[in-house]
Amino acid sequence: MFKKYFWEKAVRRYLAHPVSRRIPFESGLLLVDERTAPEAASLADRLSARTGIPRARWDILKVDRKNNGPSHIPAVIPAHFNWKGEPRDPAVRPFFEKTYDLLVDLTALETLFNRLVSAAVRAGFRAGNRPDRTACFDLVIDAPPGEAFATELAKYLRAMGFIRP
């Protein structure tokens, strides 16, 4: 209860301080969970091909509820945040200190922790596929993760002038 109150406050605080955008986009972060983690690399490749952001400039971060052991994808768990909603683990802190041009959130569950992670990332533009989290995103695309999502995202980013045709 105590932590929940302060984490909700942290989400509002993070979202109240937007980060300036660079145009065209040069870097991106892909947030995945256990459902989308197996295809995270191919998703990043698709997003790279569609958005023009080089694959080397895409980072992938897995949002997990508990530590499931070693993985090839860096994972963030609730224990990595303190009670004020600030990242405290040195292994994941770089993801929250770096400024990204584009955040693509493909996490499936609507939880306070997922919202906290998404809001804590310093990103100039946030896109996701969760229509129930419109407050956290600048763009919501109601499509499953994969080719259709990457194509739709690129179409809208190109129309808004954030990526080159």
Pairing of strands 122-128, 99-105: parallel
Rounded to an integer, the average pLDDT of 115-124 is 91
Beta-bridge partners for 127? 104, 139
The domains found in the chain, sorted by start residue, are: 2-16+27-160 (3.40.50)
Residues 25-84: tens digit of each pLDDT: 889 999 998 888 888 888 899 888 888 889 999 999 999 887 765 578 888 999 999 999
Write down the mean pLDDT value for the chain.
Answer: 86
The residue-averaged pLDDT of 85-97 equals 92
Closest to 127 in 3D by CA, of 56, 43, 64 = 43
Q: State how far the Cα of 55 lies from the Cα of 45, in Å rounded to an integer.
A: 6
- pLDDT computed for residue 165 by the predictor: 66
What is the pLDDT confidence band of residue 129, given thresholds at 50, 70 and 90? confident
Q: Decide if pLDDT at 95 tops 90.
A: yes
